[in-house]
Homo-oligomer: A and B are copies of this chain.
Amino acid sequence: MKNIVMLGAGNVATHLGMALKEAGYNIVQVFSRTERSASQLAGRLATEYTNDIKKITSGADIYIIAVKDGAITTVVETLQLVRQLADATSLQINGLIVHTSGTISIDVLKDVSENIGVFYPLQTFSKNVVETRCSVSLLFKNIPICIEANNKSNEDILLNLAGSISENVHLINTQQRKLLHLAAVFACNFSNHMYAVAEDILKKGNLPFDMLKPLIIETANKIENNSPNDMQTGPAIRGDQMIMVEHLEYLAELPEYREMYKLISESIST
């Protein structure tokens, strides 16, 4: 039975902590700078917490740094500092330390422990998902988890950890992970912005965004069994100049969307 310390108490830490607990792991401690968050997550996980980095339990098997990308360096630097100042009884992490970021190199961890890795769940967690799903395990089941480690033995530990909550585990290196993150920006962040632009356009005609929802869901569902390239529809792929010219005229008063329309249509048609 592995003992895990969770560093962070935000969305990823919460979902991951709960899923790992459901999978049978011991979450022995939650650390967060914000005492309230630490206490809240510790309550959910029925475990201890601290907001003092010097009181982080030593001797756990796995330490998961699940904080925002921008905060990882701070956590890592503090851990290093504590390590340097440590006397024999204070923090001596020998376990495997991982972060959960899609964009940060594994190397950021190399001065903190000899056992390091990355455990990146490819999903955007909404704050209230925990409340709306019957089981966190179910939530993770299909989520891709990307693993990287500094040696084979740590790789195996992380593959087991990931495999306990997801059926979709991938071994990928830092370079691939960054590429994956970039692709996710297009596929998710940018497609969501396309929805937002559509909502904005509908407002001009006093039309409810609800009207587009079935089409949006259908469009996303279609790629389940098909390459998006083969599923492309619309005026650009048909080369329907008449419609495109009309659309650009409509967008004359929305120059930002007009540029996007032109650029994306060109990209589709080439």
Contacts and interface: CB of A to CB of B under 8 A. Distances in A.
Contacts of A268: 189, 193
A105 B44 CA distance: 58
A211 interface: yes
Contact of A214 (B123, B172, B237): B123
A194 to B, nearest CB: 4
Contact of A176 (B142, B187, B205, B221): B205
A163 interface: no
Interface string A138-153: 0000111000000000
B179 A103 contact: no
Interface stretch (A22-30, A31-39, A75-83, A243-251): A243-251
B179 A201 contact: yes
Contact of A194 (B143, B191, B222, B234): B191
Interface in A158-209: 168, 170, 172, 175-176, 178-180, 182-199, 201-202, 204-207, 209
Copies in the complex: 2
Interface of A: 69-70, 103, 122-124, 126, 142-144, 168, 170, 172, 175-176, 178-180, 182-199, 201-202, 204-207, 209, 211-224, 227-229, 231-237, 240, 243, 246-247, 250-251, 256-257, 259-261, 263-264, 266-268, 270
The 4 closest A-B CB pairs, nearest first, are: A189-B234, A220-B220, A187-B198, A195-B228
26 contacts: A103-B246, A124-B219, A124-B233, A175-B205, A178-B246, A179-B202, A180-B212, A183-B197, A183-B201, A183-B202, A186-B194, A186-B201, A187-B215, A188-B212, A188-B215, A192-B231, A193-B267, A209-B227, A213-B223, A216-B220, A216-B223, A217-B220, A217-B221, A256-B267, A256-B270, A259-B263
